[in-house]
Amino acid sequence: MSETQDPVFQIQRVYLKEASLEQPNSPAILLEQEQPTVDIQLGVNASPVAEGIYEVSVTATVQTKIKDKTVFLVEATQAGIFEVRNLPPEQMGPIMGIACPQIVYPYLRGNVADLIQRAGFPPVHLSEINFQAMYEQQQAAQSDDAPRIVTQ
């Protein structure tokens, strides 16, 4: 009789892996009256650390500009270490691309808003992210890039 093991999904730790803030044009840019433009980029990365242990990180880059000059640039990576065992291989992608980022992202949002506010600016609040839609778009894009065999 084969013994089946129960699936395991546990958060080991959530931590701020990296954070940087640049104000290359201060203090002169702070005297500008014009409203800055805000550009926000997000990324998700997952990698194995040990057997059944994975690091999942979410990175945010927030850049504000007035005309072509940067007001501030914030880059932050929030990560989590997760124990994931005894799951079918087809469930690993959604766990790493949806479930884990959903756990890590609220910490990233808070840290980015706090860092920007501590730098003397009004906080930039990152909006809620639908990681399932983001994951599905990435999967669709990857399948579009896959080589195709055409038969006639």
Complete edge-to-edge strand list for the sheet that includes strand 53-66:
8-22, 69-85, 53-66, 37-50
Residue 63 covered by a domain: yes
Residue 78 covered by a domain: yes
Q: Which residue has the tokens 């999904």?
A: 9
**Segment-wise mean pLDDT, segments of 10 residues, the chain, 152 residues:** 77 98 92 91 95 96 95 97 94 94 97 94 88 89 61 46
Which pLDDT score is estimated for 116?
Answer: 94
Q: What is the value of pTM for the model shown?
A: 0.85
The domain that holds 22 is classified in CATH as 3.10.420.10
Contact 104, 57 (CB under 8 A): yes
Residue 149 covered by a domain: no
Residue 129 covered by a domain: yes
Give the number of domains in the chain: 1
Residue 97 covered by a domain: yes
Residue 49 covered by a domain: yes
Residue environment code for 30-43, b if the CB has 16+ CB neighbours within 10 A, otherwise e: eeeeeebeeeeebe
Residue 95 covered by a domain: yes
Q: Three-state DSSP class for 107?
A: helix
What is the domain extent for residue 39? Answer: 8-138
